[in-house]
């Protein structure tokens, strides 16, 4: 009884948490006003205090700033609305769960590894948004809860980004900004070690929790309100008939559904940076893959993906919806389902907008990195403190490429001058940024994905913090030892 009462207590919801973060940034800008820094163009600048107008306009500007992501999520909602109208997804989940009866946990290990492979190679993050609701429904139908689905996606892709090997948006951006020679063989090796160590910790943690939920639904971290919402959203998929099977039309819909996500992922993979597609061909738009949106694979972004999902949604509707007149209403209903999700994304982006307007984020990164780099200490202690520093900085600048452009030009030359391992210092930044992006509320993809899966951000923090702490400690040990051995 005490457990039920605890679950009914209400704290800050996702919107409340994001508003508090926004106000804290505003207060910090007042306290640190006038602090000097160098802007992106190399000019002298100073932190300015956030005005009342800056604060109240930040959420609206967050809509504009995250417009590409928001547009994609709206179209994704329309796409899922049509797919749900066919009944193929719900039936497909039931068939999948029934076939894996007694072996549900292996789904977690396999899917997390796939997501992590995408993370380590090309930094899969925003592209995961569409998978949250699918995995939440699948895991719920398999006797678990939506937290397991969220963790499979978020921790899966996240530990891959944490151990980025050839990810151009993290390791690649840091190497490019370093200004000194870097042995990419060492960065790739360290990336693989960080990736696999983090993957095994995360997969073990998720499956341990999943076992408890399968054995006892009362052990779920979800509140009573969240459980009610999940029952309404996923309850039908969890009620598996004895003779569940897919019709030929539903099979066709699922093949088209899988093709849609596969092409989206292929479109986002940076083939140009990986040397697969020549840059001149891509820039000229003459590659065969540019016929669809004008941008070749590797140059796709959210507008391209949204257009692709819209087209495939219509095709799926024509194939799988019996009454074609219901395609339009299904799309509109799907758009409506995404309103609260996009509000979360816009509010999460508002914090970044305010930090950029005040210059607070850039000053904090430059000042703290410079102070640490100029202090005399051993290589091992430097590595550990640098890791802690970049964890803090990543809350302010969650973008891996953005933080790399600010910190790497400062840290790498100093580390090189000390005769220490520049490669390890780069991977310290990558791992710290990846760790924070498992939990930061300023990441629109995380906040939007959790909202899609009907899991409150506060619930995610309470459930995941131990796992993230284990991963963080393991990475700190690996990186500190690497710095000592390689220096």
Mean pLDDT taken over the chain: 85
Q: How far apart are CA 370 and CA 420, in angstroms?
A: 17
If pLDDT is split at 50, 70 and 90, which confidence band does 129 have?
confident
The CA-based angle 407-378-184, given to 5 degrees, is: 50
Task: Give the pLDDT mean for 434-447.
Answer: 86
pLDDT reported for residue 9: 46
CA distances from 447 to 47, 74, 432 (A): 28, 15, 19
pLDDT score of 472 more than 50: yes
Token code pair at residue 132: 């949250």
Q: Give, in degrees to the nearest 5, the angle at Cα 108 between 106 and 110.
A: 70
Tokens representing residue 342 in the block: 């996009």
Residues 6 or more apart in contact with residue 436 via CB below 8 angstroms: 391, 394, 395, 398
Q: How far is CA 22 from CA 67, 94, 157, in A?
A: 19, 42, 27
Which helix (H) or strand (E) segment holds residue 37: the answer is strand 36-38
- Residue 430 has a pLDDT of 94
Q: Is the pLDDT of residue 329 over 70?
A: yes
- What pairs with residue 38 in β-bridges? 44
Predicted local confidence at residue 3, as pLDDT? 45
Confidence of residue 132 (pLDDT cuts 50, 70, 90): confident
Give me 451's structure tokens: 């909202």
Separation CA 446–CA 52 (nearest Å)? 28
Average pLDDT over residues 163-168: 84
Q: How many CB atoms lie within 10 A of CB 276?
A: 12
Residue 159: pLDDT over 70? yes
Q: How many CB atoms lie within 10 A of CB 242?
A: 5
Q: What is the pLDDT of residue 203?
A: 97
109: Cβ–Cβ under 8 A, 6 or more apart, which residues?
203, 207
pLDDT at 116: 93
Greatest CA span in the chain, whole angstroms?
A: 73
Residue 127 in contact with residue 265, Cβ under 8 Å? yes
Q: 222 with 230: CB under 8 angstroms?
A: yes
Closest CA to 479 of 116, 182, 198, 122: 198
Please name every residue paired with 36 in a beta bridge, in sequence order, or none if there are none: 46
DSSP H or E segment with residue 130: helix 129-141
Residue 274 has pLDDT above 90, yes or no: no
Whole-angstrom distance, CA of residue 255 vs CA of residue 96: 14
pLDDT at 237 (0 to 100): 57
pLDDT at 1 over 50: no
pLDDT at 362 over 50: yes
Q: What's the count of helices (H) and strands (E) in the chain, helices before strands?
A: 22, 2
Asked whether the predicted pLDDT for residue 273 surpasses 80, the reply is: no
Residues in the chain, overall count: 487
Whether the CB-CB separation of 304 and 295 falls below 8 Å is answered with yes
Q: Given this model, what pLDDT does residue 236 score?
A: 63
User: Which H or E run contains 189?
Assistant: helix 184-215
Q: Is 285 left (phi over 0), alpha (psi -120 to 50) or beta?
A: left
**Helix residue ranges, H only, 239-378:** 248-268, 279-284, 302-320, 327-337, 339-358, 360-373
pLDDT tens string 52-65? 999 999 999 988 88
pLDDT tens digits, 24-42:
989 999 999 999 988 877 7
Contacts of 370 by beta carbon, 8 Å cutoff, 6+ apart: 410
Percent of the chain with pLDDT over 70: 94
**Per-residue confidence band for 433, with pLDDT thresholds at 50, 70 and 90:** very high
d(C-alpha 299, C-alpha 283), whole Å: 9
Q: What is the mean pLDDT of residues 263-292?
A: 84
Confidence of residue 468 (pLDDT cuts 50, 70, 90): very high
Q: What is the pLDDT of residue 5?
A: 45
State pLDDT tens for residues 194-217: 999 999 999 999 999 999 999 888
Helix (H) or strand (E) holding 45, with range, is strand 44-46
């Amino acid at each position: 009884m005490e457990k039920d009462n605890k679950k009914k207590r209400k704290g800050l919801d996702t919107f409340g948490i994001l508003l508090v973060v926004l106000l804290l940034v505003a207060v910090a800008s007042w306290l640190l006003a006038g602090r000097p820094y160098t802007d992106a163009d190399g000019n002298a600048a100073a932190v300015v205090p956030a005005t009342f107008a800056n604060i109240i306009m930040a959420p609206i500007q967050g809509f504009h700033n995250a417009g590409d992501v928001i547009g994609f999520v709206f179209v994704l909602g329309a796409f899922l609305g049509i797919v749900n109208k066919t009944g193929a997804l719900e039936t497909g989940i039931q068939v999948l769960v029934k076939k894996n009866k007694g072996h549900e946990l292996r789904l977690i290990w396999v899917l997390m590894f796939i997501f992590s492979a995408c993370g380590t190679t090309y930094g899969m993050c925003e592209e995961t948004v569409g998978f949250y609701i699918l995995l939440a429904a699948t895991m719920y139908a398999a006797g678990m809860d939506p937290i397991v689905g969220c963790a499979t996606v978020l921790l899966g892709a996240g530990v891959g980004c944490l151990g980025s090997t050839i990810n151009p948006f993290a390791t690649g951006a840091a190497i490019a900004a370093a200004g000194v020679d870097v042995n990419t063989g060492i960065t790739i090796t360290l990336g693989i070690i960080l990736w696999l160590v983090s993957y095994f910790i995360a997969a073990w943690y998720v499956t341990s929790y999943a076992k408890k939920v399968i054995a006892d639904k009362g052990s779920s971290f979800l509140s009573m309100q969240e459980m009610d919402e999940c029952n309404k959203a996923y309850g039908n998929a969890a009620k598996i008939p004895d003779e569940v099977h897919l019709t030929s039309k539903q099979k066709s819909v699922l093949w088209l559904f899988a093709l849609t996500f596969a092409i989206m992922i292929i479109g986002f993979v940076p083939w140009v940076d990986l040397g697969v597609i020549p840059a001149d061909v891509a820039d000229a738009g003459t590659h065969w893959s540019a016929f669809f949106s004008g941008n070749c694979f590797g140059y796709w972004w959210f507008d391209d993906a949204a257009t692709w999902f819209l087209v495939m949604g219509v095709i799926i509707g024509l194939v799988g919806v019996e009454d074609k007149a219901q395609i339009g209403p299904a799309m509109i209903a799907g758009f409506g389902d995404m309103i609260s999700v996009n509000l979360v994304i816009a509010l999460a982006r508002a914090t970044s907008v305010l930090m950029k307007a005040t210059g607070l984020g850039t000053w904090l990164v430059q000042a703290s990195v410079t102070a640490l780099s100029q202090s005399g200490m051993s290589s091992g202690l430097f590595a550990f403190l640098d890791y802690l520093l970049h964890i803090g900085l990543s809350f302010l600048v969650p973008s891996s490429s953005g933080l790399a452009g600010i910190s790497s030009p400062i840290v790498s030359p100093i580390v090189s001058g000390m005769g220490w391992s520049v490669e390890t210092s780069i991977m310290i930044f990558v791992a710290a940024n990846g760790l924070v992006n498992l939990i930061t509320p300023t990441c629109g993809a995380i906040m939007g994905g959790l909202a899609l899966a009907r899991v409150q951000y506060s619930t995610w923090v309470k459930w995941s913090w131990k796992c993230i702490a284990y991963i963080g400690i393991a990475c700190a040990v690996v990186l500190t030892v690497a710095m000592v051995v390689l220096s």
